[in-house]
Structures are given as structure tokens and as C-alpha cells.
Structure 1
Amino acid sequence: METLSPEVLEDLRHGRAPRERKIAVCTGGAHLAPVDRAEILAVLAGDADEMVATRAQDAILSLPPEAFIEAIKREQALPALFSYAAKHLADKPGICDALVHNKNCATEHLVHAVRHLSTLGIQTLMEELERISESPTLAAVLEHSPLLTPEQKNQLHELYGPGHPIDEAALAEAAAAAEPDVARRQTLIQRIATMTVAQRVQYAIKGGTDARRTLIRDPNKVVQRAVLASPRLTDQEVEAFASMSSLTDEILRLIAGNRNFRKNYVVVRNLINNPKTPLDVTLHMLPMLNAQDLKRLTMNKNIPETLRTTAFKLHRTRADLKK
């Protein structure tokens, strides 16, 4: 049995190998790891040579779904594999969830996968605001999934429903806080004012800091969540958001619930000192404050009385323990 070099493997993965070698892979005449064979057979199943394609399709029947799942999980997995798996293997357990978990899998392939997703797969996909906001078709298919929770259905409605009309005054106020330059601010306002909700989600994820600082105050919750999901979001921005009393308690709760955000002490301190942060959240985080900030909190008259009283008791308890 022939052992294939990395160069030959690449030729096979991209359909450049000679016919004889393609046939050898289909008939088991070439030594390949199951994960490599699965991916290459998926590529060859769409080969222009009808004999190669037929042999590849027949060979696929003998491979376990696990081989395809492992192939799909790989960062360098090919679009041809995604396409074949979505169209022909979607009913196999684990295939569609694997497609969702690979960030490189295009939304066009996920459309075929939705009805076969597990509850966890649906949840994972619903958290991928960038994918859903760029594909109305995917969102429409998702909306008909019986596994969707009422909250998730509401999120889709927020994204593609009529949405809240843009409050121009509120937009101008948010932009003024985000962008000091008048000319750039006006450009920002004009750009956002003409966007749909889905477009604002895309802008929140992919735009610059001025876009995020403006859109965190968007009237649509899904846009606000997109800001927090942006891979470009900086620690300094989250720190600023945590101190903004103009944000909704829901967004402040989301910030507090994010493990990565909570690793930043400034975020925690700002949330606790923000009068808009829900009381149950601030009480839970209170022990995370250092002695100096805890003492300052006892004198903060903007926070709820319950929080201030609890802070005072904790401060006194800590002082007693030091005696």
C-alpha cells in the first residue's frame, strides 16, 4: 500500500492529483489516516471525472461518521468537505454540530445543517451573531427549529424584525460621547442612521472603537450584545462600559456574567460602583473589592442603600479579622 507524501496529500485535497492516484484513494490502495481519507473522499465526490466521483461516493459509505467529524473540526478543513457533509451527511450524529463549531464553515453550509443540530448546536449558533446577521436565510431556517427557546426566537425577531426606529437625538448623544471629532462624528451618525439592525450588528462586530462606543447604546439589545461579542473589543472599552449608567441593566448583567471581563479588576470595580448594575450582581461581586475600594464604596451615595450597608459590614468584618 502506497504511503503518500504531504505534497501528494495537498494535491489530492485540492483535486490536482492524477486520476490513478484519486482512484487509489477511493479503492483503499493508498495509506491514509481516516481523517485525511474522509476529507479527500469528500473532495473527490465532486470530481469532474464521473468515475472518480462515483468511486469516492461509494467509498464514503464505508467510513464512520467520526472520521468526518474529526476532519470537519480541523482549522484547515476545506469548503468542499463542509459542502459535502452538509448536503449528504447532515443526518449523521455530530456532523452538523461540528460544522457549527468550525468558524471557517460558511453560513451557506449551515443552512442545510440547522434542522439536524442538537440543542447545544443551536445555542452555539445563536451566539454567533456575526454569522446569523450576515445571512437572513440562515436566520429564517433557524426560526423554524423546534429546539429554539422563546428568548432565542425573540433575538431573531430583534435581528430581522421591524426593530426599533433610530432615535436620532439618542444616536447623536451616543456618537458625541464616542467620537470627539465633529466631522468624523457626523459621518458616523449618517452611516449608522441608514443601517438595518443586522447591518448594525455587523458594524458592532467589525467596526472600530467609535462604532462600538456608539452602538453599545443602541435601542436594540441584539446590537448591544454584538458589541460585547466583537473580537476587537478592548479592555479599556469594557471598563468604560462597566461605568456607564446610561446602559441597560441587561447589558451590565451580561458584562458581569462574562468570565473574561470579570478577570479585569477595573471592570468589577466599575460595575459595583455603577448604580444601574443589578443589585444581585453587585452583591455577588462585592467580596472581590480590595480594602481601599470597599471603603470608598461605603461612602458612595449613588449606589443602593442595601449595597452600601453590606459593603460597610464587610469592611468592618475585614477590619475585625485584622485585629
Structure 2
Amino acid sequence: MTSQKKTVRLKVSPEVARVVDPKAPRELKLSAARGALPLSGRDLVTTLFFLAHGKDRDIRRSALQTFRALPGSILQPVALDAGAHPQLLDFMARYHLHDLALMEIVLTHSQISDETLIHVAGRATGSVLSLIANNDERLIREPEIINAIFANPDADKAVKFRLGWKDPEAEPTEEEQKQREDHAAEIEEMDDEVKSKYQLALEFGVSEKIKAALTGDKEWRNLLIKDSNKLVCSAVIKNPRITEGEILMVAKNRSAHEELIRLINLNREWVKNYEIRRALVMNPRTPLPKALRYMSTLTDKDIRELSKSRNVTQVIVNNARRMIMAKEKKK
């Protein structure tokens, strides 16, 4: 299938090939476009996809009309295919946008394209939009999805606010005003280069911050790791240039966003670092099962310090004492 922008190649069954072949009779294509041929669900969806992108206007119109009328019982099995083509998923997303059950499959499919998510983000509402807005991994990977949600006039403001949207017509709250004053004071203490980046960060929207967090240098990372927006600070952790030293600083920060601690815990290479593991044990945002597991790898000296510490939970203290007693019994 050829469109103005790209050529899509799909492996199709002989039944589909017979219909969509350029040399196939027009009447045969028109019958297929009207859903009048005995095709299986998958073949019908694929055939309509090709015919809806053809050159014949009447066939295109009929194919789209038939496709819009297809029930979820036919479309869902096609969408559940792990190898479904991104353009086929895009076709479903554009013409069955309000079918929540289908969209739950399509919009979370591993093959869904960023282009499709951007399109849907700018038009969806309610639960369908939430499927995209709650997909942090994709929002960080393609910040333009966030911009599309912000530009969507029908998007729930609560969803926008959660992603860091600022209502241009709203007066700043007392907290926001205080933050601005604090920012102004901080800027005065910075050198010119850092000050320039800090001022830029204050002007950036969420998507711009994410892009800077993913690709920026150490100064950008140091600035944006402190951002209150989960998507922004998480993007810093995914910056390929971030160092173990920076990760250690985050692990030591008891007020770090819990998402940052979660991401650090998920990285096997980082938790191989002894200092990072020790910092995670002491960080209150580390899930308790993880902290207890890391404790078994710490030195006797660190375990003894933990047994007397007032900066960790009582569970950690008690476990440290138990570990000490167990070792003493073996002697």
C-alpha cells in the first residue's frame, strides 16, 4: 500500500492478495470494501486497510464506512497479534478512538508508533486519553505526546496538571510565588553558565525539560534531577551519560522522588556498586524487601552502624541486630 508519505508492506493471505492486487476487478474491490466478501476477521481488516488507502474514491469511502462499523470482536484479535503492523494499529486508533476495550490493546501495543500516540493524544478524552497519559515510558521517550495532550482542548485539566501543565490564565498560588522568589535567590548565587541554564529551565515547558534531561550535560542533569515533575527527573536517570557518582548522590538523597529510587533499583549494573546499595538501604523510599536484601551484602562494620542508626526504619535496625546476633552465634 502506498500513501503520500510512505509505503507499507504487509504479508497477506492469498485471499487478501486476490482482492488488493492492482489488477483485481473494480467490482471485486468494491464488494470487499462493502464487506460483502466471505473473508475472515483478520483478512477483512487487512483488506479494508489497503482499500481505504487506495486511489479509487468510492472504494476508499466504502472501505472506511465498513471499517468504522466493525465490532470489537473482529478488531481485538487483530490488535492482540504481537506482530501487528504499526500502520494497522494506527488505522484502528484513528477510526475506533472511542472503543475503550480496543484502545486498551492498541495504545499499549509494543508496535504502536509515536506518531499514532501523538495523533490520539491530541483528540482523545477520558479513559482513552488516560491510557496515554499514564504511560510514563512513552511520554519520556517522545515528549511531543505531552505537547499534544496540552494542546487537546477536550483533555481533562486534571490530566494536564498531573503532567505539569500550567494554566496560562491562572494566578500563581502562594506556594508558586514563594518558589519563584526562592529561584530568584538561587540564581544570584550561581556562576554565569549555570545561571543561564537555570533561567532556561524555568522558561521550558515539560517536553523541553524532558529533552534536556535525556540529552543534557552534567549541569543540566544536576538542575533537572531536582525537578518536581516525575517525568522530567526520571528522564535524567535515563540520560545515557549519567554517571554512577550522580546515581549515588540520588540514592543518598532521602527526599529524592520515589520514582528515581525505583529506577535505580531496577538497574542491575548500578546496584552492583556497593556504595549505591548501602545508600539505598538507608533511603526511606527504597522498598523494604529490596533494602533487606541489600543488607545481606553489606560489611559487618556497616551492619553495626545500621543497628544503632536513628536515620533508618526500626525494621532495618532490628534486622541489623538480628544479623549481628546470628554471626556471633556462629563463632
TM-score tier after normalising by the smaller chain length: 0.5 to 0.7
Distance 1:173 1:319, change over 3 A: farther
CA displacement 1:168-226 (0-9 Å, x = unmatched):
57886997xxxxxxxxxx99889868744420112323x26647743553434341122
Q: What does 1:41-60 align with in structure 2 at a 5 Å threshold?
A: 41-60=48-67
CA displacement 1:28-70 (0-9 Å, x = unmatched):
6777552343144144335442221233134336633243344
Q: 1:285 aligns with which of 287, 290, 298?
A: 290
* d(CA) in 1 for partners of 2:190, 2:208: 16
Q: What does 1:302-321 align with in structure 2 at a 5 Å threshold?
A: 304-307=309-312, 309-310=317-318, 312-320=320-328
TM superposition score normalised by structure 2: 0.63
Tell me, yes or no, if the aligned pair for 2:198 and 2:223 is still in contact at 8 Å.
Answer: no
Distance 1:48 1:126, change over 3 A: same
CA displacement 1:63-120 (0-9 Å, x = unmatched):
33243344445555344752x434432222323323421441241233223335286x
Distance 1:66 1:145, change over 3 A: farther
The one-letter code matched in structure 2 to 1:316 is I
The one-letter code matched in structure 1 to 2:225 is R
Q: What does 1:184-203 align with in structure 2 at a 5 Å threshold?
A: 195-203=204-212
Tell me, yes or no, if the aligned pair for 1:26 and 1:59 is still in contact at 8 Å.
Answer: yes
* d(CA) in 2 for partners of 1:42, 1:202: 35
The one-letter code matched in structure 1 to 2:211 is Q
Tell me, yes or no, if the aligned pair for 1:261 and 1:267 is still in contact at 8 Å.
Answer: no
Alignment match, 1:181: none
Q: 1:266 aligns with which of 268, 272, 284?
A: 272
Tell me, yes or no, if the aligned pair for 2:125 and 2:155 is still in contact at 8 Å.
Answer: no
Distance 1:77 1:224, change over 3 A: same
Distance 1:57 1:195, change over 3 A: closer
Pairwise CA RMSD: 4.9
- State the Cα distance separating 1:241 from its structure 2 match: 1.4
The one-letter code matched in structure 2 to 1:124 is N
Tell me, yes or no, if the aligned pair for 1:45 and 1:57 is still in contact at 8 Å.
Answer: yes
Q: Which runs of 5+ in 2 are unaligned?
A: 1-11
The one-letter code matched in structure 1 to 2:324 is R
The one-letter code matched in structure 2 to 1:260 is L
Q: What does 1:1-323 align with in structure 2 at a 5 Å threshold?
A: 4-5=13-14, 8=17, 12=20, 20=26, 22-23=29-30, 25-26=32-33, 33-60=40-67, 63-72=70-79, 77-79=85-87, 82=90, 84-102=91-109, 103-104=112-113, 105-117=116-128, 121=131, 124-125=134-135, 128-130=138-140, 131=142, 133-141=144-152, 144-145=155-156, 153-157=161-165, 168=187, 195-205=204-214, 207=215, 210=218, 213-221=221-229, 222-228=231-237, 230=238, 233=240, 237=243, 240-244=246-250, 247=253, 249-251=255-257, 253-258=258-263, 260-261=266-267, 265-266=271-272, 270=276, 272-273=278-279, 277-278=283-284, 281=286, 284-289=289-294, 291=296, 293-298=298-303, 304-307=309-312, 309-310=317-318, 312-320=320-328, 322=330
Alignment match, 1:180: none
Tell me, yes or no, if the aligned pair for 1:172 and 1:189 is still in contact at 8 Å.
Answer: no
Distance 1:98 1:296, change over 3 A: same
Distance 1:305 1:78, change over 3 A: closer
Alignment match, 2:4: none
Q: Which runs of 5+ in 1 are unaligned?
A: 176-185
* d(CA) in 1 for partners of 2:192, 2:297: 34
Distance 1:276 1:30, change over 3 A: same
* d(CA) in 2 for partners of 1:127, 1:141: 20
